[in-house]
Amino acid sequence: MEEKQCTLRRKVSVTGAGLHTRQCGTLTFNPAPANTGIRFRRVDLEDQPIIEADVDNVIDTTRGTTLGKGGVKIYTVEHVLASLRGMGIDNVLIDIDVEEMPIMDGSGREFVRVLKEAGIVQQKALRDYYVVKEPISYRNEVLGIELSIEPCETFKIDVTVKYNTKVLDKQSASLHDMKDFESEIAPCRTFVFLHELETLLSRNLIKGGDLTNAIVFVNKNVSSEELDHIAAFFKKPKVEVKEGGILNNVDLYFDNEPARHKLLDVIGDLTLVGKPIKGHVTAYKPGHFSNTAFARKIKHTMLQQENQ
C-alpha cells in the first residue's frame, strides 16, 4: 500500500530549558515541502545555518545525540526526532534559537502534543521507505551491546536493557505498531542512577535538570546529607528514596518505563538514517553511541543498494 509523505499544517512552537546547558530556548516546527526531510536551523546565528538530521552529522553521543556542521552544534536531538518519526512526519524545518533542545519532562510527550496541535497533513509525494532486504547488525562485544535489523513489512522494535543493579536489572519493551507510539512510548522519561547524577553535577552538567524531567534510581546506600544536598541543588524542600529504589520526584508511568525510554531513544537515533524504515529492530543494551553506529551501518547498506 502506497503512503504519502506528511508535514505540518502550520508552524508551532515549544519553549523550555536544555538539560545540560540550561539555555532557555524556543523550538519552532515549520511545515516543509515534500522531500525536504528533517532539518534544524539555528536562527540565533548569523546566516541561520542549517543542520540536516543525518547520521553523518553526529559529532558526539556522550549524554545524548549531538549534531554538528561547519562548527555549529545542536545538542540532545533524540527526543525531538523520535517524536517526529513516531507521529509520521517526514518533512519539517525546525528553528532553534539556542544550542540545545528543550528537555521538557524528559520524554517526547510535549513534542507530540504540539505536533498534533499544529496538525499533520499529507503531501503529494510518496513516502520513500528504506526496505531492509537482508539482516544488518552492530555488536560491541566488550560492552555486550547488540543491535540488529531484519526484513519486515512494517517497522517493529524490541529493546532490552540490563544494568546489573538491584533497583534496575533487566527490562524489555516492544513497539510493533507505530500507532501506539503516542500512548506507549512518547510519555516515557529519561532516567539516571544517583551516582551518575552526582558525577554530572560535579562536572557542571544537567544545569537544566529540576527533578521533574528524569527518573532517578538509587542503587547505593545514601545518607540524609547527600539527599539534602540534592534537594538544595534542585531547590526542593526535601527528597527521599521511595520503595522500589527511586527518588520521590516522580512516579513511574509503566513498570518498564526505562526500557520504553531506551526504545524511544533508538527510534530517534535511527531517524538519522534519513528515511523511515521497514524492518524489525532488536536492540540489547542500546545507547546513543551504539545507536548511531548502527544507523551508520544501515545508511551505508542503504546507499550501496541504491547504487547497485
Active site residue 280: no
What digits encode the pLDDT tens for the residues 248-269?
A: 778 899 999 999 999 999 999 9
Handedness of CA 209, 212, 218, 223 (dihedral sign): positive
Pairing of strands 50-52, 24-31: unpaired
Residue 233 has pLDDT above 80, yes or no: no
Residue 261 phi/psi, 5-degree rounding, is -70, -40
Distances (CA, A) of 102 to 77, 108, 207: 9, 11, 12
> What pLDDT shows up at residue 18?
86
Give a yes or no: residue 214 inside a domain.
no
What digits encode the pLDDT tens for the residues 209-229?
A: 556 678 888 877 777 887 887
Residue 208 has pLDDT above 70, yes or no: no
Residues 6+ apart with CB under 8 A from 144: 162, 284, 285
Give a yes or no: residue 32 inside a domain.
yes
What digits encode the pLDDT tens for the residues 85-103?
A: 999 999 999 999 999 999 9
Q: Record the pTM.
A: 0.92
Give a yes or no: residue 251 inside a domain.
no
How many structural domains comprise the chain? 1
Distances (CA, A) of 81 to 37, 112, 150: 11, 11, 22
Give a yes or no: residue 27 inside a domain.
yes
| Host domain of residue 16 | 4-131+259-306
List the one residue out of 116, 129, 266, 121 whose CA is nearest residue 188: 266
> What pLDDT shows up at residue 232?
74
Give a yes or no: residue 61 inside a domain.
yes
Q: Mean pLDDT of all residues in the chain?
A: 91
Summarize the confidence of residues 231-256 as an average pLDDT.
Answer: 80
Residue 286 has pLDDT above 60, yes or no: yes
CA max distance for the chain: 64
Give a yes or no: residue 152 inside a domain.
no
Q: Of the given ranges (163-167, 264-268, 287-291), which has the lowest mean pLDDT?
A: 163-167
> What pLDDT shows up at residue 213?
75
Q: Which of 261, 280, 288, 300 is catalytic?
A: 288
Give a yes or no: residue 48 inside a domain.
yes
Report the percent of the chain where pLDDT is more than 90.
73
Q: Vertex 72, ends 112 and 93: CA angle to 5°?
A: 35
Q: What is the rounded distance in angstroms from the CA atom of residue 37 to the CA atom of residue 215?
A: 32
Please report, for the domain that includes residue 64, its CATH number.
Answer: 3.30.230.20
Give a yes or no: residue 12 inside a domain.
yes
